[in-house]
Chains A and B, each alone.
Chain A
Amino acid sequence: MGNATSLPRAFGFDADETQWYRQLRQAGVQDALGRIGDYQLLEEIGRGGQGIVFKARQPRTGRHIAVKRLSAGAFATPEMRARFEREIEAAVALDHPNVVTVFGTEVVDGQQLLAMKWVDGVPIDRWATVTPHSPPLEGKTLLASPFDEGGMKAGPRRPIREILEVFTVVCNAVQHAHQRGVIHRDLKPSNILVDKEKRPFVLDFGLAKVSRETTHAATITMTGEFLGTPAYAAPEQVRGDQRSVDARTDVYALGVILYRLLTGRLPFFDTGNLAALMQEIMHRDIPAPSAVDARVNRELDSIVMKAVSKAKDERYPSVEDFGADIRRFLSGEAVLAHAPSRLQRLGKRIRRHQHLVALAAMALLAVFGASTIRIADRHRRPSGGRPVDSLGPLEGETQADALGRQGLARFRAGDYSGAEESWRRRTLLHRQDPRITTTTRLFALRCLAAAVIFQERYEDSLTIVEEAKAICERVYGVSDYRTAHYVHWLGMVHRLLGQVGAAEELFARVLPIRIERLSQMRGAESIDRTGLRDALRDAGVTLAEIGRTAEAEQLLREALALQESGTSGTGPYFGVVFVGLGLCAMQRLDFRDAEKFLLKAHDELAYEGVAYYRHYAASKLIALYEAQGEHSKAGVWQKNLGS
């Protein structure tokens, strides 16, 4: 191996036509699946973290069945197998018209097999996209590809009532299992098939648990990571807290499924990056379904949102209760779920999602960091010992400057609405004064937007950022790197609003501008160290946003090296880059590196002017520890959060 072979020779490029086509024929020949035990394997239907499913024929009876060959396979020990058989007994005992019958398990030629009834249906998400007038469903799959989990085909969805009616039957089936002590743990659309008569069938009860327990832990974890998506996993599962898994874990998964059936999309921003998705599941506020699809009304919103509460205690206590509330909705009765008040929602967000607020702060700082900090700091230290919150202009200070100073003091004190008021007044003054420079005008708008974002009024902040963007477009041009800052920022706000498509589109627009800027900085005859450093940071941040971690990391490292070789080492700049590197490490699933960078970031960001960025690093560390099940460490950081 390893010897250089000429390509034409190795690939037979010089072969005559007949020989060349024979080569292609051989390359495409499929091996027959053959038989296993009594079963004649007909086709592979699907594969996932738990195993591979085949449609098979039993020659003795001639009937078709589904045979699932479990991942544990030949690597399972006899002890594991025995435990598997004990665990699967409960699932085999389930007898419900909407639960796929498990005929039993057996070991054939050393392979652990599960034989199930063959269902001629399609996954429920695919079913939900078909209108009632569509041609009859020609489903041939027992299991959809597990890779379908992330993307639902675009197309008209069935009427909400029809979806809900089928969904309540699913709830009944799951409840039946719960009453017999079987928690599913892996409910997702591909595990719920709907046949031509609109009958849903739930399959794979109990398998998630036994599959996890009977398979070498590392193998299943790793294969599970790339074979499936945890998009339907509850926060407690994502945290790895298996002891707290109960019926409410299935309530959560059903809630996410219903969300998807109603809106056509997942409630999370799934870029395909596992670590990022885990963060989203654990911490990100889910936008109400009505925000995605106007057909969903507030009552239905409240039902779904209750089911997908991050805290188990806030979900329906059972699937039965969940289904009952949907039936109440269908019959026009008052539902039990109530949307939390705005105040409750705000309180919950602050408790659970400090990092999102900090994310907004990161956007501000990553993009405008150094200049904002410098200017802010200058304002923070007024001469003459006057109270920082006083509105009277200091010597040489304009009314607008005084408002800026007052806003900053309020912002520092956590009075974001007060800061907004001051900064809004300053912006109004700027609008009336033609002498105000573009830079000053933009700075004021950035501050104002920050104050609004910190109040989680993301929609409102859009108008302000749009105004700043419009100024840039007018002064610098649409494709200028300074304009790109605001486009990037808009992308982040859209992401906070859960408007994934809009966010991705904006980041995609920003990236070429930032790459171009970086290229200009690199190609400049005389090196503008600060410009290059900022360009590296900006391009790195945008690359990180769109999941191009390795490239992001490379640029951020270069930015770091450039900064280190400079004469002035500024803590906040290092901190920002370290946070970026920490995020990249998280995306690479390198938790040790992520911890190292985030800790360093936290140290570097000790400077009080960037306390909320420091807070961001801390909240990421908490998420990191929680993801690894290191709850005590997470607890310690939780206590220190904001200090």
Chain B
Amino acid sequence: MSMLPQASSETRSSLFSRLRANHIGAWREFEDRYREMMLRFCRRRGLQHFDSEDVVQRVMADLLKSLPQFVYDRQRGRFRDYLYRCVRNALSNWSQHAARRPEQLRSGMVHALEEDSRNGRPGRDDEVLWEEEWVAHHYRVAMDTVRKTFEPRSVDIFDRSVAGATIPELARAFTMTEDAVRKVRERIRYRMEELIAEQVREEDEFGG
């Protein structure tokens, strides 16, 4: 049913095992993979693009120091929760810096973050946002794998489906039966779900 599932699985395993070994290539890959998720979270928290970049850069610098210890400390829980705490800390630091800068407009965002740090606990909304971005992140990674491993025509059908094309439209465009289009879409969806399950499992193993 699925196509080339092994290759993607090996790639992910090797990322986390190489990360454990503090491998430069793995850090780059890690950054490539998780940067967007963190950036999107920061943007949704109200930061501008560049401010989000700052925060993510700080998170990456912190992770580089702390991650080797993290992998050996099973008490720290799931990786995504750990990453969330790192982002929250960096956001908090950013808000303190931003608040001290005279030229920086003290946006509502800064005040909100200051409020958060005074309360000592992030708001429930943050957790929801993070969870949403985490889900979106795994969908992106899985989509990326699908695009690399399925036949070009299947990928084309998939991309157009994501863009909103209907089954009859796709059948006409690709001169296929609607049933054949449906099967391609089902196959890819099935594979996506498999991939996401693998990704989450590996991420959780990495963490706790």
Chain B residue numbers with a CB within 8 Å of A550 are 17, 20-21, 71
Task: Check: A2 CB closer than 8 A to any chain B CB.
Answer: yes
Chain A residue numbers with a CB within 8 Å of B20 are 549-550
- Assess the A74–B104 pair: CB atoms within 8 A: yes
Q: 1/0 contact trace for A30-46 toward B, CB 8 Å? A: 01011010000100000
Q: 1/0 contact trace for B1-44 toward A, CB 8 Å? A: 00000000000000001101111111110010000000110010
- Assess the A13–B98 pair: CB atoms within 8 A: no
Q: How far is the CA of A321 from the CA of B51 in the complex (A)?
A: 45
- Assess the A71–B24 pair: CB atoms within 8 A: no
Chain A residue numbers with a CB within 8 Å of B21 are 273, 547-551, 587-588
Interface size on A, residues (CB 8 A): 57
Task: Check: B153 CB closer than 8 A to any chain A CB.
Answer: no
Report the minimum CB–CB distance from B164 to chain A (whole Å). Answer: 7
Task: Check: B191 CB closer than 8 A to any chain A CB.
Answer: no
Q: 1/0 contact trace for A578-619 toward B, CB 8 Å? A: 000000000111100000000000000000000000000000
- Assess the B135–A11 pair: CB atoms within 8 A: yes
- Assess the A226–B101 pair: CB atoms within 8 A: no
- Assess the B53–A52 pair: CB atoms within 8 A: yes
Task: Check: B177 CB closer than 8 A to any chain A CB.
Answer: no
Q: Looking across the interface, which residue of chain A has its beta carbon closest to that of B93?
A: A75
Chain A residue numbers with a CB within 8 Å of B61 are 218-219, 222-223
Chain A residue numbers with a CB within 8 Å of B161 are 21
Q: 1/0 contact trace for B35-66 toward A, CB 8 Å? A: 00001100100001111011001101100110
Chain A residue numbers with a CB within 8 Å of B105 are 109
Report the minimum CB–CB distance from B22 to chain A (whole Å). Answer: 5
Q: Which of A17, A31, A227, A587 contacts B28 (CB 8 A)?
A: A227
Q: 1/0 contact trace for A525-548 toward B, CB 8 Å? A: 000000000000000000000011
Q: 1/0 contact trace for B170-191 toward A, CB 8 Å? A: 0000000000000001000100
Q: Which of A5, A7, A41, A225 contacts B64 (CB 8 A)?
A: A225
The bracket for how many chain B residues form the interface is 35 or more
Q: How far is the CA of A71 from the CA of B60 in the complex (A)?
A: 13
- Assess the B17–A11 pair: CB atoms within 8 A: no
Q: Which of A71, A75, A109, A272 contacts B48 (CB 8 A)?
A: A109
Q: Which of B23, B50, B162 contacts A272 (CB 8 A)?
A: B23
Chain A residue numbers with a CB within 8 Å of B163 are 25
Q: How far is the CA of A147 from the CA of B26 in the complex (A)?
A: 11
Chain A residue numbers with a CB within 8 Å of B40 are 31
Task: Check: B112 CB closer than 8 A to any chain A CB.
Answer: no
Task: Check: A27 CB closer than 8 A to any chain B CB.
Answer: yes
A69-B53 in contact given A222-B65, A548-B17 (Cβ < 8 Å): yes
A73-B57 in contact given A7-B196, A588-B22 (Cβ < 8 Å): yes
- Assess the B140–A27 pair: CB atoms within 8 A: yes
Q: Which of A20, A27, A109, A226 contacts B136 (CB 8 A)?
A: A27
Q: How far is the CA of A551 from the CA of B14 in the complex (A)?
A: 12
Report the minimum CB–CB distance from B38 to chain A (whole Å). Answer: 13
- Assess the B77–A2 pair: CB atoms within 8 A: yes
Task: Check: A565 CB closer than 8 A to any chain B CB.
Answer: no
Task: Check: B151 CB closer than 8 A to any chain A CB.
Answer: no
- Assess the A226–B28 pair: CB atoms within 8 A: yes
Q: Looking across the interface, which residue of chain A has its beta carbon closest to that of B84?
A: A1
Report the minimum CB–CB distance from B130 to chain A (whole Å). Answer: 7
A73-B54 in contact given A28-B143, A28-B162 (Cβ < 8 Å): yes
Report the minimum CB–CB distance from B110 to chain A (whole Å). Answer: 11
Q: Which of A1, A20, A24, A36 contacts B81 (CB 8 A)?
A: A1
Report the minimum CB–CB distance from A207 to chain B (whole Å). Answer: 16
A74-B54 in contact given A17-B185, A223-B61, A547-B21 (Cβ < 8 Å): yes
Q: How far is the CA of A526 from the CA of B145 in the complex (A)?
A: 46
- Assess the A21–B23 pair: CB atoms within 8 A: no
Interface residues of A in 318-341 (CB under 8 A from B): none
Q: Looking across the interface, which residue of chain B has its beta carbon closest to that of A223?
A: B61
Task: Check: A445 CB closer than 8 A to any chain B CB.
Answer: no
Q: Which of B54, B98, B164, B196 has the most CB of A within 10 A?
A: B54
Task: Check: A453 CB closer than 8 A to any chain B CB.
Answer: no
Report the minimum CB–CB distance from B33 to chain A (whole Å). Answer: 13
- Assess the B143–A10 pair: CB atoms within 8 A: no
- Assess the B23–A273 pair: CB atoms within 8 A: yes
A589-B22 in contact given A7-B197, A13-B193, A110-B104 (Cβ < 8 Å): yes
Task: Check: A422 CB closer than 8 A to any chain B CB.
Answer: no
Chain B residue numbers with a CB within 8 Å of A262 are none
Chain B residue numbers with a CB within 8 Å of A69 are 50, 53
- Assess the A226–B24 pair: CB atoms within 8 A: yes
- Assess the A222–B64 pair: CB atoms within 8 A: yes
Task: Check: A244 CB closer than 8 A to any chain B CB.
Answer: no
- Assess the B131–A10 pair: CB atoms within 8 A: yes
Task: Check: B97 CB closer than 8 A to any chain A CB.
Answer: yes
A/B interface sample: 8 pairs, CB < 8 A? A7-B200, A10-B131, A11-B135, A71-B57, A109-B105, A110-B101, A226-B60, A227-B28
- Apart from A31-B39, A225-B24, A549-B22, what are 20 other A-B pairs with CB-CB below 8 Å? A10-B131, A11-B135, A11-B138, A11-B196, A33-B49, A41-B49, A71-B57, A109-B105, A110-B98, A147-B28, A219-B61, A222-B64, A223-B57, A225-B64, A226-B64, A229-B24, A273-B23, A273-B24, A547-B21, A547-B23
B interface residues (Cβ-Cβ under 8 A, vs A) = 17-18, 20-28, 31, 39-40, 43, 48-51, 53-54, 57-58, 60-61, 64-65, 68, 71, 77-78, 81, 84, 94, 97-98, 101, 103-105, 127, 130-131, 135-140, 143, 161-164, 185, 189, 193, 196-197, 200
